[in-house]
Chains A and B, each alone.
Chain A
Amino acid sequence: MRREGLLALLCLSGCSGAQTAFGGQGAEDANFIQLFTVFMIVCTVMYLLVSAALIVAVWRRRRTAMVVEDRNHRATSGFVRPALIGWTALIAIGLTALTLAGFFTDRSNARNGSHPQLKLTVTANQWWWDVEYDWADVSKSVRTANEIHLPVGIPVEVTLKSNDVIHSFWIPNLAGKQDLIPGRRTDAQLLPRKTGLYRGQCAEFCGTQHAQMALDVTVESKADFEKWYGAQLQAAPVPKTPLQLAGYRYITTRECASCHNISGTSAGGQIAPDLTHFAGRRSIAAGTLPMNTGNIYGWVADPQSQKPGNHMPTIGLKADDLHGIVAYLETLK
């Protein structure tokens, strides 16, 4: 406990991880850090008390005469009973205080999401995230995958669903986790307070590639967010070079289109990540690989060796087809 307290303090002063509960960039995570600190203090005090008592109890041996050898092994000193009462009272008061602190923090967290100005639906799949920005006017809605962009300072409500097994939605820098459960609808409230690039990850074991189910989170200014959102509303650009055209033809007419959607083309599959703005994302395959040309090649050529067990098959592309597909995918920004 003691050592942990020190580390916690160290971390609070100089941590800038993209996936840490000690980040505090969201309202709920800031509450977490505050409450954690309170618990740490109380728990450290209790631990020091127990340790001190134990050390003294072992250290002071031989001074007592209430042992078998002195035929007095049932006697106890007079102060044991009041000490016990005091100890119990201390525990009870400490627990009550901590329970109340936890309760009021929970109330505060619940209030974060009472007036959401942006609504998202995140649907979990083995092993990727389907993300939809919901508006009453469908033409303003946007669908993307494995990334969310959020404007800073604006309360967001995220509706959570699952298409297969139980997953858990967790962006530690912003808030605690919420499970996505098939047949149920859960929700999470986010209130990002600082711009930055964060990382979320599935936190409930969901099968073979549970470890490679991450989510890129971008918290940006309202203007940047609107710029990004405007770009997302656009359909995919038309292929320009012959190579891009070959890739476009392959994707829209062969295996790819049965699972993937690319708006503005005939590729309309709905069971795999939307690729309309694929190349504008930070990573490939739910955080498995950083986005760059080499990794796109690697992924398209042999997804099963990059992320074994995932649902995208290795289909044995010819080199020409592969060059075309990658060239076309890179235009999807």
Chain B
Amino acid sequence: MKSAAERAKLPPADVPRDGPNLTGEELETKLSTTWSNPPGFVGWLSSVDHKDIGRRYVITALVFLALAGVLAIAMRLQLARPDNDLIGAARYNEIFTMHGTTMMFLFAVPVMQGMQIYLTPLMIGTRSNAFPRLNAFSYWMYLAGGLLLWIAFVLNVGPDIGWFAYPPLSGPQFGVGKRVDIWAQMITFTEVAALAAAVSQTATLHKHKAPGMSLARMPIFVWATLVTSLMVIFSMPSVALASGMLLSDRLVGTHFYNPAERGDALLWQHLFWFFGHPEVYIIFLPATGFVSEIVATFSRRSIVMYPIVVMSLVATGILAFGLWVHHMFATGLPRIGYSFYTAASMSVAIPTGLQIFCWIATLWEGRPQLKVPLLYVIGFIFTFVIGGLTGVMIAAVPLDLQLHDTYFIVAHFHYVLIGGAVFPLLGAITYWFPKATGRLMSETLGKIAFWMIFLGFQLAFFPMHIAGIYGMPRRVYTYPAGMGLELPNMLSTLGSLVVSAAVLLFVVNLVISARSGRRAAPNPWDAPSLEWATSCPPPPYNFPHIPLVSSRTPLWDAGEKLPVVYGLRVEDRELVLTTVMSAKPDVREPSPEPSPWPLIGTVATTAMFVCSIFSPWAVLVGVVPVALALTAWFWPKSPAPEREPVIS
């Protein structure tokens, strides 16, 4: 085998490429050599394989889910009885802040991005992401942000101002100490991570689709990924701006949010919710993608009215940016302006209602198989619709003014986020588990866990609607006896214990099945999309030959053998790029080698971000190592093979 430098000088026609003459075991050996991680621990740290990164993302996010779940149990135990003194006021405030922050920033968004990073290149039939090193950087930054927050919490400097951090409570005067700075800097980490992943996804989905996979043939989960990635790109700058100004108020002495110096406390709320509301859909839309894939596979048919489902996704993504003020109905903004946000909030029910129609119609027109992933989807519809309808209620100003900031809202958004996102996620993990591990999860344990989670969830969260109407505000560490709150709170606590036992069972199932589950064939569910065309788990290069797509459900329509295209280099990492709309082969492009520099860059950035909590000068000094790391990251080591036009 020739060195990279020698290969680069070869005339294109002499470069070894996959094709009818180079296929089967010989091809797979060569591709494995080219696409595998370097050996050893350093090789593991250097990986830019989207499957490694996606898996790390999902596992890390599940660990954070478990941590935040433990905090939830602690809160439920404190609230089980009125005037309880298990947890004091200050500690409780830290706990609910950590619970919300971890769930939103370290679990929900990252777990969805992790699933997307793992799945989308497989689903669109390519070998890698558009920016694999950026992808790796994204994961390391996310991990660093999560560690920062949790190490701070363990050292008793965890934030205590709520996951929304409204100034002036989070400002320099009332949020003394470093708790708020740690929160705000953790936001910076997760923003960088989310933006990096979203940029990489957007480019991948635009340019790396397998030949023939036009936009109209993309799986719905891929559409959901595209929409959410664009939403991340449009919404994250808003919270970056907000938290940047908060840090600047706290560390440099600006007065963006200080009313005494003509700043405005409400400015934060506008910026935060302009991000915060889309964030809910950044979590929810990937889940609707899971649902669409699972419904189609287990109904044994294509999704009914694919264009309606896709347009609903896009419409939800756009509407999401027009309703942030419904978080601020009680702030005394002009009443007539509220009407617009009421109407916008209500109108989200239309695309959502259309999607639900299409899923039910698909089940109706198909032959549903009640396997565990489909059970989660059915549980999702029963649960999420309640959350959606309570969402319609609180869109109306007179109802919201009573229900806002009460346990009714806590119930509402847990119905939306657990019912609407976590149920589909658990279904999706069960569904794609064989793809990632090569083994199927236990159906029996899966069904027990499903019923416990579904029923335990209703027990835990339904009574919260009642508690809220009975006058229980959110974020209280205790409540007095005699207000009618004893029963709903006790039920919620019992329900939360059932849910946690069920989640534990789910994890046990994961572990047992990963070790000794039934071996999975490449397509154990007889599903239609491309990720099932390769082995379980997929090889480092994903597909020996890039598939050629001619319908929305390639594996159902291709017959015995999936058509493929030939001509990618096998001794260099090379990808085929296609046109955005119709996915015609466009150009062949080299793909980056593994590199430790994204990790080293993360370490440098982390040092800068963390030190800047203590002195603004750290930003000035800290950019030097960051610049050095980035320079090394992008340093051209050998004459890379040039982009080649497609020969066809």
Contact = CB atoms under 8 A, between A and B. Distances in A.
Interface of A: 1, 3-4, 7-8, 11, 15, 17-22, 28-29, 31-32, 35-36, 39, 43, 46-47, 50-51, 53-54, 56-58, 60-62, 64, 66-69, 73-77, 80, 83-84, 87-88, 91-92, 95, 98-99, 101-103, 105-106, 109-110, 126, 160, 164-166, 168, 170, 172, 175-179, 181-184, 186-187, 199, 201-212, 287, 308-309
B471 interface: yes
In order of increasing CB-CB distance, the 9 nearest A-B pairs are: A183-B259, A176-B401, A102-B396, A186-B332, A19-B471, A211-B476, A67-B300, A57-B364, A57-B363
A73 B265 contact: no
A199 B484 CA distance: 13
A73 B349 contact: no
A211 B89 contact: yes
Nearest to B338: A106
Interface stretch (B11-19, B24-32, B382-390): B382-390
B392 interface: yes
A29 B350 contact: no
B346 A183 contact: no
B177 to A, nearest CB: 13
A28 B405 CA distance: 18
Nearest to B403: A21
Contact of B301 (A68, A172, A210, A287): A68
Nearest to A214: B480
A11 B471 CA distance: 13
B407 to A, nearest CB: 11
B147 to A, nearest CB: 26
B361 interface: yes
A17 B470 contact: yes
A77 B365 contact: yes
A89 to B, nearest CB: 10
Given A106-B335, A165-B169, A203-B330, 20 more contacts: A21-B403, A21-B471, A39-B396, A50-B381, A51-B385, A57-B361, A61-B363, A61-B367, A68-B528, A74-B553, A80-B365, A95-B346, A166-B169, A172-B471, A179-B330, A179-B331, A181-B265, A203-B406, A205-B475, A308-B89
Contacts of A102: 342, 395-399
A302 to B, nearest CB: 15
Interface of B: 88-90, 93, 160-162, 166, 168-169, 173-174, 259-260, 263-266, 299-302, 304-305, 308, 330-332, 335, 338-339, 342-343, 346-347, 349-350, 353-354, 356-358, 360-361, 363-368, 370, 378, 381-382, 385-386, 389-390, 392-393, 395-406, 462, 465-466, 469-471, 473-480, 483-484, 526, 528, 553, 556
Nearest to A182: B259
A8 B469 CA distance: 9
A198 to B, nearest CB: 10
A99 B390 CA distance: 14
A80 B361 contact: yes
Contacts of A60: 364
Q: Is the interface of B mostly helix, strand, loop or mixed?
A: helix
B364 A22 contact: no
23 contacts: A7-B466, A19-B471, A28-B401, A32-B402, A35-B398, A39-B393, A43-B390, A47-B386, A60-B364, A61-B363, A64-B367, A68-B526, A95-B349, A99-B396, A105-B398, A106-B396, A110-B335, A126-B174, A181-B266, A203-B330, A208-B89, A208-B93, A212-B478
Nearest to B458: A3
Contacts of B479: 211
Contact of A210 (B308, B338, B476): B476
A177 B264 CA distance: 21
Nearest to A8: B469
B231 to A, nearest CB: 23
B580 to A, nearest CB: 25
Nearest to B370: A58
A294 to B, nearest CB: 16
Nearest to B329: A176
A58 B368 contact: yes
A57 B263 CA distance: 56
Contacts of A32: 398-399, 401-402
B169 A187 contact: no
Nearest to B551: A74
A54 B335 contact: no
A320 to B, nearest CB: 31
A64 to B, nearest CB: 6
B259 to A, nearest CB: 2
Contact of A80 (B89, B304, B389, B475): B304
**Which residue of A21, A62, A199, A208 has the most chain B CB atoms within 10 A of its CB atom?**
A21
Contacts of B89: 208-209, 211-212, 308-309
Contacts of B469: 8, 11, 20-22
B301 A182 contact: no
